[in-house]
Amino acid sequence: MSDKRRKSRIQGGWTSASKVPTKRVPIGSKIHSTNPNDSVTDGEKKSLENGSQQKFVFEESCIKVGRHKPAEKTIEEHGIHEIGVSANGVSRICYFPDFIEEEKADQIFDRLHKELPWRQRSDVWPDGRTFLQPRLTAWYGDLPYTYSGQTHQPNPKWHPVLQDLREHLQKSLGIYFNSMLANLYRDGHDSVGWHTDKNPALGEQPTIASLSFGDSRTFELRKNPPPEENGDYTYMEHLKVPLIHGSLLTMEGALQHDWQHRVPKEYHDRGPRINLTFRLTFPE
């Protein structure tokens, strides 16, 4: 054996006379020479595929950074809260937990619970299936209003309690309202699912004023995901607002474009709650 070959063997094995790539790349990636004039031979490809002594490491750019769900926030403070900004504008809620004093709120709840024409209606899925809403509703307004496949007919004869509340809101907020949807949640099992009040009859950026009477319920909001999330809300912002007896919550600006909201079921004792949502509707 020649001295040259003996030396090669002592150094750790037979070596190829061909050049091998010197750049370290991720496992499974294509192998390229660091010299653009070099090419990889068929023998080298076979050697690499059969597990050559070439070592590979992960480049830092290949490490996937983990994502975390944002912390859920609760809004209890009195005042104006800007919760997001987008190309659609500013999304805003205003929360006034003591808008109506307790004794007056008690009287309002008792009368509306007994005197409004509560009715359980049906929602219609896009495929035509129907299901009963898990709550009772009543509509008052100068115009008809259509949502979820059903239409509320005009009902311009306002209950006197509702008329007083409408005038109080208009003076307090400086906004005119010509319609109101009332919801009666009979217990913690009644609810309304995720939705948005993005309706042509309400205009581009409506202000909806929501008054609550009776037992407290949690109002939830979640931000709409961008197109690349494919409808996945996992990593989007979530907010909660405890709507207490006599409180006022307004939804304003771009909120109906950029956020969804709901009142979820609660699996512990809850008494009845009445929610009045005042709005300005336009001819459809």
CA distances to 92, 137, 183, 212 from 119, rounded to whole Å, are 31, 6, 10, 19
CB 268 within 8 A of CB 178: no
User: What is the spatial distance between Cα 141 and Cα 32, in angstroms, rounded to a whole number?
Assistant: 72
Running DSSP on this structure, what letter comes out for residue 29? S
pLDDT at 267: 86
**Each residue's pLDDT expressed in tens, for the chain with a length of 284 residues:** 545 444 444 344 433 334 434 444 343 443 344 444 444 455 544 444 555 455 545 444 444 467 889 999 999 999 999 999 999 999 999 999 999 999 999 999 999 999 999 999 988 877 878 889 999 999 999 999 888 778 889 999 999 999 999 999 999 999 999 999 999 999 999 999 999 999 999 999 999 999 999 999 999 999 999 999 999 999 999 999 999 999 999 999 999 999 999 999 998 889 999 999 999 999 97
CATH of 73-279, one of 2.40.50.140, 2.60.120.590, 3.40.1280.10, 3.40.50.720: 2.60.120.590
Q: Report d(CA 179, CA 280) in Å as an integer.
A: 6
Task: Let me know: does 152 contact 281? Beta carbons within 8 Å.
Answer: no
Q: What was the pLDDT predicted at 131?
A: 86
Single pTM value for the model: 0.75
- Paired tokens of 214: 């009776």
Q: Where would I find the beta strands (DSSP E) of 208-265?
A: 208-214, 217-223, 238-243, 248-253, 259-263
Q: Where, residue-wise, is CATH 2.60.120.590 in the chain?
A: 73-279
Place of tokens 């909806």: 208
pLDDT at 48: 46
User: Cα separation of 69 and 54, whole Å?
Assistant: 40
Q: Give the pLDDT confidence score for residue 3 in this predicted structure.
A: 52
Residues 6+ apart with CB under 8 A from 145: 139, 151, 152, 179, 181, 199, 201, 281
Spatial distance between the Cα atoms of 249 and 233, rounded to a whole number of angstroms: 24
Could you tell me whether strands 136-141 and 73-74 are parallel, antiparallel, or unpaired per DSSP bridges? unpaired
Phi first, then psi: what are they for 278, rounded to 5°?
-90, 140
